[in-house]
Amino acid sequence: MGLFSSRSTTASLSIIAKGCRVTGNIESDQSIQIDGFVHGNISTDAEVIITPTGRVQGDIKAGLVLINGLVEGTCQGNEVNIQPKGKFKGAMQTQQLTIEKGGLLIGENREVVEVEKVTKISSTETVSKEEDKAAS
């Protein structure tokens, strides 16, 4: 089974090839695959895929992050999957974290918790509601 077997093949994919070094930030609307080395931040609403030859030093922000290489920095995503050859060092913030056998997380993971907004009722509204009940 291939790495992309459960993924859609209609989306574009930007690849940083093995042997390629990028210094600077990468922003994309599409998925990004890192086979080489990136020293900088990566940002996309789609997927960031770090293959076994891939290395990232910097911050990653994506919808889905698949780590099968080495990442040092911070990672923020709806779903993060550290695969068997993956290593993550740093701080992670995600709603769903999977670490497969052989994968390594050195650092911390903070779960993203959706906060419910509480609406405060003013004392004048409370008094008028009590007066309405008394009048009935």
**pLDDT of residue 97 exceeding 70:** yes
Structure tokens at 2: 């291939």
Q: Which residue matches tokens 């779960």?
A: 111
Q: Is residue 92 part of a domain?
A: yes
**Of how many residues is the chain composed?**
136
How many domains does the structure of the chain reveal?
A: 1
Q: Are the beta carbons of 105 and 92 closer than 8 angstroms? A: yes
Q: What is the mean pLDDT of the chain?
A: 85
More confident residue, 46 or 8: 46
Gap between the Cα atoms of 65 and 85, Å rounded: 14
Asked, for residue 97, whether it belongs to a domain, the answer is: yes
Residue 73 lies in a domain: yes
pLDDT at residue 45 tops 50: yes
**1 lies in some domain:** no
Kindly report the number of other CB atoms within 10 A of residue 4's CB atom.
15
> pTM for this one?
0.74
Asked if residue 79 is part of any domain, the answer here is yes
Residue 115 lies in a domain: no
Domain assignment of residue 3, yes or no: no
Flag the least confident range among 40-44, 74-78, 110-114.
Answer: 110-114
Host H or E run for residue 1: none
| Each residue's pLDDT tens digit, 3-27 | 544 454 456 899 999 999 999 999 9
- The answer to whether residue 88 is domain-embedded is yes
Backbone angles phi, psi at 132, to 5 degrees: -65, -40
Expressed as residue numbers, the domain containing 40 is 14-106
Quick check: 11 and 46 in contact, CB under 8 A? yes
